[in-house]
Amino acid sequence: MATGTVAPQFTGVDFLDFDSLLGEEERAVRDTVRAWVDEHLMPVIGQAYIDGKFPRQLIPGMAELGLLGANLPEEYGCAGLNNVAYGLIMQELERGDSGIRSFASVQGALVMYPIYAFGSDEQKQKWLPLLASGQEIGCFGLTEPDFGSNPGGMITTARETADGWVLNGTKMWITNGSQATVSIIWAKTGDIAETKSIRGFIVPTDTKGYSARDQKGKLSLRASDTSEIHLQDVHLPKDAVLPRSGGIKSPLMCLTQARYGIAWGAIGAAMACYDEALRYAGNRVMFDRPIAQTQIQQVRLVDMLTEITKAQFMTLQLGRLKDAGTMTPEQVSICKRNNVDMATDCAREARRLLGANGILIEYHSMRHMANLESVYTYEGTHDMHSLIVGQAITGLAAF
């Protein structure tokens, strides 16, 4: 890594020549997304956050670049990237904003992935190209008001009728919910106590009985839509069900995909905060010297750099395991848990280093800090991931 003066643009964080472990395409993908974020996202993200609006004008550009479902095969209009390149996309998007990364995570890992993994050929041919090109926007309905960490307890039902299905229930904390044109809804098709009967359904959001409204008053992920979905006697045709979905394992497999992306994304948010803190410390003069020339701020910066560096190598290995097909959900948990916690710390420390300026929207650390509280909580809370890893090493479930 080059030392001393900082480049005018974000150039990543690479203290231990992490780049040398990446392939040429992986670097190229990362660089292209980085440039896109600088050109298109950074100029608008502050205002979008203040306005509490997802910058949807960015969707066509994201789709054109190929950011949606980028690790799915080319035959469906996707880029066919490996999982490390996919992870680097998430890192770069979240360097911009967790809400934008969330949008891409949901579209790719929680909507396109279940259709790809559990859908019929017909469903795949129909939906994946539309979702990859951003013509359709998806959301993922699993969490319910009373069932967050315990999705198996859901009470949304899908009753089979002579000519199809009828869905009833409520979903909450649904990213992209109010702008989605299609929703993957998880519901029980059998006994309410039976998690084996959980199946996924493709629900166009203009279906009668389907409604979504924004959850207001968020202090985090403000540039992302979060919604509540109501399903009241939503009639669906027979082929709305994802034929290969079955049991709570199916939505959890989707979440493993999404968490994998979050593990990378959190590194991006941490990098953004570190980079901002480093620049600011070099520019900000107090008591006749840049604050970067003070011991306390150097310790702060080095702590951040160290944690980011550790997370990079850990997560790269996770990606290599995923590409080899041997990655386990517990391995994803340990990385998601570590990286989001690490990023949350970096964001807070960066915000503090920025002093009073750090509370302004023109700086990014406080926005990341607030966002990361959601990321810490969603897709399996920090604590739940502790218990998942705890169960893996002790053989004893503590939840």
Partner 1 sequence: MKIAVCIKRVPDTELRFSIGSDGKSLDQAGLKYDLSDFDGYAVEVALRLVEQAGGGEVAVVCLGPDAVQETMRKAISMGADRGIHLRADTIPFDGLSVAHALAAELKDGGYDLVLFGRMATDSAAGVVGPMTAQLLGLPCVTAISHLDIADGRGTARRELEGVAEVTTFPLPAVLTIDEGIARARLPSLKGIMAAKKKPIETREAHLGEVRLTVESMALPPERTGGRIIGEGPDAVPELIRLLQTEAKVL
Partner 2 sequence: MADMFAFAETRDGALRSVAFETVTAARQAADAAGGGEVHALLAGGPGVGARAAELGRYGADVVVVVEHAGLACYNAEALAATCAARIGGEQYRAAFFAASAEGRDLAPRVAGALDRSMLSDVTAFEMRGDAVVASHPVYVGKAVATLRLTGSPAMVSLRPGAITAVESPREARTEPMAPALDPGAARVTVTEMLDRGGAKLDLGEAPVVVSGGRGLRAAENFALVEELAAAFGNAAVGATRAVTDDGWRPATDQIGQTGRVVSPMLYVAVGISGAVQHLAGMRTSRTIVAINKDKDAPIFKLADYGIVGDLFEIVPRLTDAVRKAKAGG
* Number of neighbours of residue 124 by Cβ within 10 angstroms: 19
Cβ distance 304 to 278 under 8 Å? no
**Residue 36 binds which of partner 2, partner 1, none (CB < 5-8 A, kind-dependent):** partner 1
249-252: Cβ within 8 A, 24+ apart: 250/114, 250/117, 250/118, 250/186, 250/198, 250/199, 250/200, 251/114, 251/140, 251/142, 251/151, 251/186, 251/198, 251/200, 252/151, 252/329
Among 31, 46, 323, 386, binds partner 2 (CB under 8 A): 46
Residue 152 lies near partner 2 (rule: CB under 8 A) = no
Nearest to partner 2 of 86, 363 (CB atom): 363
DSSP state of 4: S
**Residue 284 binds which of partner 1, partner 2, none (CB < 5-8 A, kind-dependent):** partner 2
Spatial distance between the Cα atoms of 101 and 286, rounded to a whole number of angstroms: 36
Question: Which of 83, 84, 82, 104 lies closest to 37 in space, CA to CA?
Answer: 104
Which stretches of the chain bind partner 1, using CB under 8 A? Answer: 1-9, 11, 17, 19, 24-25, 28-29, 32, 35-36, 39, 64-67, 70, 74, 79-81, 85, 89
Segment lying near partner 2 (by CB under 8 A), choices 11-19, 187-195, 332-340, 354-362: 354-362
Longest dimension (CA), the chain: 80
**Residue 217 binds which of partner 2, partner 1, none (CB < 5-8 A, kind-dependent):** none
Is 379 assigned a catalytic role? yes
**Residue 283 binds which of partner 2, partner 1, none (CB < 5-8 A, kind-dependent):** partner 2
Instruction: Report the sign of the C-alpha dihedral through residues 105, 81, 125, 66, in that order.
Output: positive
Give the H/E segment covering residue 309.
Answer: helix 295-324
Nearest to partner 1 of 89, 234 (CB atom): 89
The 3-state DSSP class for residue 64 equals helix
Shortest Å distance, C-beta 283 to partner 2: 6
Nearest to partner 2 of 5, 295 (CB atom): 5
Cβ distance 323 to 84 under 8 Å? yes
Give the CA angle between residues 211, 216, 217 to the nearest 5°. Answer: 165
Nearest to partner 2 of 129, 290 (CB atom): 290
Residue 43 lies near partner 2 (rule: CB under 8 A) = yes
Q: How far is CA 159 from the centre of its chain?
A: 31
Cβ distance 190 to 196 under 8 Å? yes
Shortest Å distance, C-beta 383 to partner 2: 35
Residue 280 lies near partner 2 (rule: CB under 8 A) = yes
DSSP state of 181: S
Residue 9 lies near partner 2 (rule: CB under 8 A) = yes
Shortest Å distance, C-beta 2 to partner 1: 4
Nearest to partner 2 of 44, 252 (CB atom): 44
Segment lying near partner 2 (by CB under 8 A), choices 102-110, 138-146, 275-283, 338-346: 275-283
**Residue 260 binds which of partner 2, partner 1, none (CB < 5-8 A, kind-dependent):** none
Residue 325 lies near partner 2 (rule: CB under 8 A) = no
**Residue 138 binds which of partner 1, partner 2, none (CB < 5-8 A, kind-dependent):** none
Choosing from 94, 276, 307, 379, the catalytic residue is: 379
Shortest Å distance, C-beta 104 to partner 1: 12
Among 8, 217, 325, 395, binds partner 2 (CB under 8 A): 8
Among 283, 298, 306, 328, binds partner 2 (CB under 8 A): 283
**Residue 43 binds which of partner 2, partner 1, none (CB < 5-8 A, kind-dependent):** partner 2
Residues 6+ apart with CB under 8 A from 93: 33, 37, 41, 67, 100, 101, 104, 265, 268
Cβ distance 335 to 316 under 8 Å? no
**CA-only gyration radius of the chain, Å:** 21
Q: Is 295 left (phi over 0), alpha (psi -120 to 50) or beta?
A: alpha
**Residue 163 binds which of partner 2, partner 1, none (CB < 5-8 A, kind-dependent):** none
Shortest Å distance, C-beta 357 to partner 2: 7
Active site residues: 379
Which residues sit at the interface with partner 2, rule CB under 8 A? 5, 7-9, 42-43, 46, 279-280, 283-285, 357, 361-363
